[in-house]
């Protein structure tokens, strides 16, 4: 909270998508089994994001909950996987002086009509929050909820079973509301009233279809607001990355492995960062699909100069487009024919 009071806080998320692209995780279930198979890859990814400007090292416990592990038949690995994820993130956070965050998320079994399911949801949150608290996290992120009620349950678990602040962000699908029908503004008000330190939106929507919602959220609450879009070019007609269809592939659904042609440029992420910050949104990041280059662009847009900025583009020495006097005319005069 002290860091937020002093200026924006950048939080890299979306590790699961990046690890899938790198070949360490399977699209579909999206469970980061990589934690046990290649912990060194997860550690390096955290370091890459910190180097690019993330102020936070968030433990990769997204989709490391009991329900997800049940689906892939690895429930017995639940606790070790959570503890490994927390240990890796803690090591990186303490070494890099970034904030160390725990993470809980959508359970996919929340159903307001099913009391038995609600008990299971509660148990999922309580055990994951307890492991995060044990690991000594600085705060806990609760993210990607489609149900406002589920977000409130996650917040309650954090409040009851840890002593750290909660950042609660939810996901807005095509209709732009929570599944109960609550508006984003109303949901944020409820979360603030229930004790969340930061409230907002993450995942599912790209910058273009998340930005208009932020205005309403910022007006609705007094607490700090978070925004972590996916880095994809979502549109009014297809406002979420799960609704994007690709005309080059017979109009088929692009999610999750055909999203490449919709990827935002670094410039678009930078524009989003500036626009969101101008609205008063100070907890910023990028979710599923984000690479370190996006986080660096966001950091630079907010006036930062992270370690990776040493290698930010300088076209003055490019062989054809360069302006440096050492670049030969034999190449620069060919420019228009490239
Ligand atoms: Zn995401």
Q: Tens digits of per-residue pLDDT, 128-153?
A: 999 999 999 999 999 999 999 999 99
Angle at the Cα of 144 (from 242 to 257), degrees rounded to 5? Answer: 30
DSSP structural state of residue 223: S
Distance 322 CA to ligand 1 centre (A): 38
Measured distance CA(240)–CA(88) in Å, rounded = 31
Measured distance CA(337)–CA(123) in Å, rounded = 64
pTM of the predicted model over 0.85: yes
Distance 243 CA to ligand 1 centre (A): 14
Measured distance CA(226)–CA(202) in Å, rounded = 8
pLDDT tens-digit series, residues 273-297: 999 999 999 999 999 999 999 999 9
Query: Kind and range of the H or E element at 198?
Result: strand 198-202
Angle at the Cα of 192 (from 100 to 187), degrees rounded to 5? Answer: 110
pLDDT tens-digit series, residues 177-221: 999 999 999 999 999 999 999 999 999 999 999 999 999 999 999
Q: Which residues contact 49 (CB under 8 A, 6 or more apart)?
A: 12, 57, 292, 295
Distance 289 CA to ligand 1 centre (A): 7
Distance 265 CA to ligand 1 centre (A): 17
Q: Which residues contact 2 (CB under 8 A, 6 or more apart)?
A: none
| Upper half-sphere CA count for residue 149 (Cβ side, 13 Å) | 15
Distance 3 CA to ligand 1 centre (A): 24
Are the C-beta atoms of 30 and 18 separated by less than 8 Å? no
Are the C-beta atoms of 42 and 86 separated by less than 8 Å? no
Neighbours of ion ligand 1 (CB under 5 A): 203, 287-288
- Residue 336 pLDDT grade (very low, low, confident, very high; cuts 50, 70, 90): very high
Distance 76 CA to ligand 1 centre (A): 26
Measured distance CA(226)–CA(141) in Å, rounded = 11
Which SS3 state, helix, strand or coil, does residue 165 take? coil
Distance 287 CA to ligand 1 centre (A): 4
Q: Which of 8, 1, 57, 49 is nearest to 302 (CA)?
A: 8
Structure confidence at residue 267 (pLDDT): 98
Give the strand order in the sheet containing 283-286: 9-12, 283-286, 224-228, 198-202, 166-170, 139-145, 99-105, 56-58
DSSP code per residue over 70-81: HHTT-GGGHHHH
User: Alpha helix locations (H) across the chain?
Assistant: 2-6, 15-21, 34-37, 39-52, 66-71, 78-96, 115-135, 148-161, 184-193, 207-220, 266-278, 292-301, 329-332
Distance 144 CA to ligand 1 centre (A): 7
β-strand pairing of 283-286 with 166-170: unpaired
Distance 179 CA to ligand 1 centre (A): 18
Structure confidence at residue 63 (pLDDT): 98
Q: Which of 213, 81, 214 is nearest to 135 (CA)?
A: 81
DSSP code per residue over 47-109: HHHHHHT-SEEE-S-TT-SHHHHHHTT-GGGHHHHHHHHHHHHHHHHHHHT-EEEEEEE--S-
pLDDT tens-digit series, residues 70-126: 999 999 999 999 999 999 999 999 999 999 999 999 999 999 999 999 999 999 999
Distance 14 CA to ligand 1 centre (A): 5
Which SS3 state, helix, strand or coil, does residue 252 take? strand
Measured distance CA(58)–CA(229) in Å, rounded = 16
Measured distance CA(220)–CA(189) in Å, rounded = 6
Distance 15 CA to ligand 1 centre (A): 8
């Amino acid at each position: 909270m002290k860091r937020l009071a002093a200026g924006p806080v950048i939080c890299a998320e979306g590790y699961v998508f990046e690890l899938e692209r790198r070949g360490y995780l399977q699209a579909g279930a999206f469970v980061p089994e990589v934690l046990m198979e290649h912990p060194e890859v997860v550690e390096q990814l955290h370091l890459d994001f910190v180097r690019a400007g993330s102020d936070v090292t968030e433990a990769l416990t997204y989709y490391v909950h009991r329900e997800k592990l049940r689906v892939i038949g690895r429930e017995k690995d639940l606790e070790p996987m959570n503890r490994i994820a927390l240990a890796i993130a803690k090591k990186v956070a303490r070494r890099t002086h970034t904030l160390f965050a725990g993470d809980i998320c959508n359970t996919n079994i929340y159903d307001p009509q099913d009391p038995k399911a609600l008990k299971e949801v509660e148990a999922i949150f309580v055990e994951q929050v307890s492991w995060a608290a044990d690991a000594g996290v600085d705060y806990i992120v609760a993210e990607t909820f489609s149900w406002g009620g589920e977000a409130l349950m996650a917040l309650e678990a954090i409040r009851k079973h840890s002593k750290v602040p909660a950042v609660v962000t939810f996901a807005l699908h095509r209709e732009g509301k929570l599944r109960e029908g609550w508006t984003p503004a109303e949901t944020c008000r409820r979360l603030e009233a229930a004790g969340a330190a930061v409230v907002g939106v993450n995942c599912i929507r790209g910058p273009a279809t998340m930005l208009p919602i932020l205005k309403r959220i910022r007006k609705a609450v007094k607490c700090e607001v978070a925004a972590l879009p996916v880095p994809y070019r979502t549109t009014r007609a297809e406002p979420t990355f799960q609704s994007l269809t690709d005309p080059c592939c017979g109009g088929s659904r692009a999610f999750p492995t055909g999203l490449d042609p919709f990827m935002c440029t670094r410039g678009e992420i930078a524009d989003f960062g500036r626009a969101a910050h101008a609205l008063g949104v100070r907890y910023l990041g990028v979710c599923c699909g984000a690479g370190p280059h996006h986080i660096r662009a966001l950091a630079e847009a907010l006036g930062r100069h992270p370690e990776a900025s040493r290698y930010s583009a300088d076209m003055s020495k490019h062989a054809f487009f360069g302006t440096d006097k050492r670049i030969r005319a034999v190449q620069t005069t060919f420019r228009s024919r490239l």
